[in-house]
C-alpha cells in the first residue's frame, strides 16, 4: 500500500483541508493518507480550539486514514524543528511522499530555494546576524537575507514571506538534513490565504478566519459554510459539553497564575523565555484583566506575537529549556486514530517501522511522551476550570477507530 503523508493541526478541519487531503491522495496515487497532527498546543504557541481527539475524528471522517501525534517538543517549536519532527515521523511511517499546501504551488522553486541557501549558507547566516544586530526581528532578518541571496542567480524561487511557503521550505530542508527517502509534493493553496478573514462568497476559508468568526459571532452556525458536516458536528458536541472553545482568553486566569507564582529569574528557566522579558511578563500579568490586554502590554518590535505565545505555552505547561532541548528527533509513533484502511496499512508495514508504535500510553515510559502527557493534562485542567467538566485524558482514551 502506498502512503502519502501530510502535516496538520486541523484547528479546526475545514473545506480547504478536505481539498488538501483529496488532492494529496489523487496527485500521488496513494492508497492511504497519513496525518501527523499537533496535540493540545500548536506551532504558533496557542492551545487548540478543541481536543486532539475531536480533531482526530474530524480527520478520519474526511479522508485521512491514520492520525499520529506530533510530540509537544516539535508541535510548539519554531518552523525548522516543527518540520524536522513531522517529516521524520512520516518517513518512519514508511510514507513514500509528503504533500504540503503552499502559496507557490510548484515544487521546483522550493528545490531551487533550498539549493541556493545551501550553496551560500555561511553568507546567509552572516546576513541574518547583520540584520538582527540592527534591531530587526529574527523572522524578518531571515527574509531580508534570503532576498539578498536571490539576486545572485536568475532562477525561480519561492516567496519566503508567505507562511505556507516557509513551512514547505523547512519540510524539504528536514528531509534533506536527515537524508530521508520520502519525496516532496506541493498542492496549490486555493481561495483563502493563511491570515485571511472569511469570504461570504466562498466555501473555503482559512482556519484563522474561521476561528475569528467563531469567537466574534459566538455561534458555530457562523462557520457552517466553511467546514464539512462532520466538523460542524464535532464542534457542536464540544460546545454542548464544554460551553466554550479553547483559546488563551479561556485559560487566562490559569496562565496568569502560572506567570505570577515565579520570581523573575525563575521564569527564564522555561523554554523560549529569553533574558529580559521576565520582568515585563510579571508586570503585565499583575495589571491585565484578560489575555488580549496582557499581550498588548508585552508586545514589542523585538518579540513577535508567535514567539511570545510559545514562551507562554512553555510557562503554562511547565516545560523548561533543559527538558525541551534534550531531544533532536521523535522517539516513538503515537497513534491517535485510524480507519479500516489505516489499520490494514499498519498491519502491512508496522514491522518495518523504525520507531515503536504506541497505542496505549500506560505501557510506555518514554521521557518525550511524558511531556506530551503532561501537556494534555494541563490542557484538560484548563478546560475543566472554565467548563466545570472533566475531559478524558491520555490514559483513559484509546486510539479512535472509524
Counted residue by residue, the chain has a size of 402
Phi and psi torsions of 66, nearest 5°? -135, 135
Cα first-last separation, the chain = 19
Q: What is the mean pLDDT of the chain?
A: 93
* Beta carbons of 55 and 13 less than 8 angstroms apart: yes
Q: Which of 265, 294, 319 is the last residue of a domain?
A: 319
Partner residues linked to 34 by β-bridges: 5, 66
Examine the domain organization and report whether 95 and 56 are in the same domain: yes
Assess if residue 115 is contained within a domain. no
**Domain count across the chain:** 2
Asked if residue 12 belongs to a known ligand binding site, the reply is yes
Rounded distance, CA 205 to CA 171, Å?
A: 24
Examine the domain organization and report whether 209 and 312 are in the same domain: no
> What CATH number should be reported for the domain holding residue 346?
3.40.50.620
Rounded distance, CA 64 to CA 369, Å?
A: 23
Assess if residue 122 is contained within a domain. no
**75, containing H or E segment:** helix 72-75
Rounded distance, CA 53 to CA 402, Å?
A: 12
**23, containing H or E segment:** helix 15-28
To which residue does cell 459571532 refer? 217
Asked if residue 385 belongs to a known ligand binding site, the reply is no
Examine the domain organization and report whether 58 and 191 are in the same domain: yes
Mean pLDDT of 225-238: 96
Mean pLDDT of 220-238: 95
Beta strand pairing call for 3-8 and 333-338: unpaired
Asked if residue 164 belongs to a known ligand binding site, the reply is yes
Assess if residue 256 is contained within a domain. yes
Rounded distance, CA 335 to CA 399, Å?
A: 6
Assess if residue 159 is contained within a domain. no
The region, left, alpha or beta by phi > 0 then psi within -120 to 50, assigned to residue 41 is beta
Examine the domain organization and report whether 264 and 299 are in the same domain: yes
Asked if residue 190 belongs to a known ligand binding site, the reply is no
Asked if residue 249 belongs to a known ligand binding site, the reply is no
- Residue 12 preceded by cis peptide, ω within 30: yes
Asked if residue 124 belongs to a known ligand binding site, the reply is no
Asked if residue 11 belongs to a known ligand binding site, the reply is yes
C-alpha cell at 4: 502519502
Assess if residue 139 is contained within a domain. no
Q: What is the pLDDT of residues 141-177, one digit of tens each?
A: 888 999 988 887 778 999 998 999 999 999 999 999 9
Q: What is the pLDDT of residues 56-68, one digit of tens each?
A: 999 999 999 999 9
Asked if residue 45 belongs to a known ligand binding site, the reply is no
Asked if residue 120 belongs to a known ligand binding site, the reply is no
Examine the domain organization and report whether 208 and 314 are in the same domain: no
| Residue 140, pLDDT score | 86
Domain that holds residue 296: 248-319
SS3 121: helix
Examine the domain organization and report whether 19 and 94 are in the same domain: yes
Q: Number of helices (H) and strands (E), helices first, in the chain? A: 18, 8
Examine the domain organization and report whether 397 and 292 are in the same domain: no
Examine the domain organization and report whether 233 and 266 are in the same domain: no
Rounded distance, CA 66 to CA 90, Å?
A: 11
Asked if residue 10 belongs to a known ligand binding site, the reply is yes
Examine the domain organization and report whether 190 and 87 are in the same domain: yes
Q: Which of 319, 338, 362 is the last residue of a domain?
A: 319
Q: Which of 261, 295, 319 is the last residue of a domain?
A: 319
Asked if residue 14 belongs to a known ligand binding site, the reply is yes
Asked if residue 257 belongs to a known ligand binding site, the reply is no
Assess if residue 199 is contained within a domain. yes
- The secondary structure of 317-374 as a DSSP string is HT-BHHHHTT-SS---EEEEEE-HHHHHHHHHHGGG-SS-EES-GGG---HHHHHHHH
Assess if residue 156 is contained within a domain. no
Examine the domain organization and report whether 73 and 19 are in the same domain: yes
Q: What is the pLDDT of residues 80-118, one digit of tens each?
A: 999 999 999 999 999 999 999 999 999 999 999 999 999
Asked if residue 253 belongs to a known ligand binding site, the reply is no
Asked if residue 20 belongs to a known ligand binding site, the reply is yes
Structure pTM?
0.93
SS3 64: coil
Asked if residue 62 belongs to a known ligand binding site, the reply is no
Examine the domain organization and report whether 57 and 72 are in the same domain: yes
Examine the domain organization and report whether 191 and 78 are in the same domain: yes
Buried b (16+ CB within 10 A) or exposed e, 301-336: eebbeebbbbbbbbbbbebeeebbeebebbbbbbbb
Assess if residue 137 is contained within a domain. no
Mean pLDDT of 2-6: 97
Amino acid at each position: 500500500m502506498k502512503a502519502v503523508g501530510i502535516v496538520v493541526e486541523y484547528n479546526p478541519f475545514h473545506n480547504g483541508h478536505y481539498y488538501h487531503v483529496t488532492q494529496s491522495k489523487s496527485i500521488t496515487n496513494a492508497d492511504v493518507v497519513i496525518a501527523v497532527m499537533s496535540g493540545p498546543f500548536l506551532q504558533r504557541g496557542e492551545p487548540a480550539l478543541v481536543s486532539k481527539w475531536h480533531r482526530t475524528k474530524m480527520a478520519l471522517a474526511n479522508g485521512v486514514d491514520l492520525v499520529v501525534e506530533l510530540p509537544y517538543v516539535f508541535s510548539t517549536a519554531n518552523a525548522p524543528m516543527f518540520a524536522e519532527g513531522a517529516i521524520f515521523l512520516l518517513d518512519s511511517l514508511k510514507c513514500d511522499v509528503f504533500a504540503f499546501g503552499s502559496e507557490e504551488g510548484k515544487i521546483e522553486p522550493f528545490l531551487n530555494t533550498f539549493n541556493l541557501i545551501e550553496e551560500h549558507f555561511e553568507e546567509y547566516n552572516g546576513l541574518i546576524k547583520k540584520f538582527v544586530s540592527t534591531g530587526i526581528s529574527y523572522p524578518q532578518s531571515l527574509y531580508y537575507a534570503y532576498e539578498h541571496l536571490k539576486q545572485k542567480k536568475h532562477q525561480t524561487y519561492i516567496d519566503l514571506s508567505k507562511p505556507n511557503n516557509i513551512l514547505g521550505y523547512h519540510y524539504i530542508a528536514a528531509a534533506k538534513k536527515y537524508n530521508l527517502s520520502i519525496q516532496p509534493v506541493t498542492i496549490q493553496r486555493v481561495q483563502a490565504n493563511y491570515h485571511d478573514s472569511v469570504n461570504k462568497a466562498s466555501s473555503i476559508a482559512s482556519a484563522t478566519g474561521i476561528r475569528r468568526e467563531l469567537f466574534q459571532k459566538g455561534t458555530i452556525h457562523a462557520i457552517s459554510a466553511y467546514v464539512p458536516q462532520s466538523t460542524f458536528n464535532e464542534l457542536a458536541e464540544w460546545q454542548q459539553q464544554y460551553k466554550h472553545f479553547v483559546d488563551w482568553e479561556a485559560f487566562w486566569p490559569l496562565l496568569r497564575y502560572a506567570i505570577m507564582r515565579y520570581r523573575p529569574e525563575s521564569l527564564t528557566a522555561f523554554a523560549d523565555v529569553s533574558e529580559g522579558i521576565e520582568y515585563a511578563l510579571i508586570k503585565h500579568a499583575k495589571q491585565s484583566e484578560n489575555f488580549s490586554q496582557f499581550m498588548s502590554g508585552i508586545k514589542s518590535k523585538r518579540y513577535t506575537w508567535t514567539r511570545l505565545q510559545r514562551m507562554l505555552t512553555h510557562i503554562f505547561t511547565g516545560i523548561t529549556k533543559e527538558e525541551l532541548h534534550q531531544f533532536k528527533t521523535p522517539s516513538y509513533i503515537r497513534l491517535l486514530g485510524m480507519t479500516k484502511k489505516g489499520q490494514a496499512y499498519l498491519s502491512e508495514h508496522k514491522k518495518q517501522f523504525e520507531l515503536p508504535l504506541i497505542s496505549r500510553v500506560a505501557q510506555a515510559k518514554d521521557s518525550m511522551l511524558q511531556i506530551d502527557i503532561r501537556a494534555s493534562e494541563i490542557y484538560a485542567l484548563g478546560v475543566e476550570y472554565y467548563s466545570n467538566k472533566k475531559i478524558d485524558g491520555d490514559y483513559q482514551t484509546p486510539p479512535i477507530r472509524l
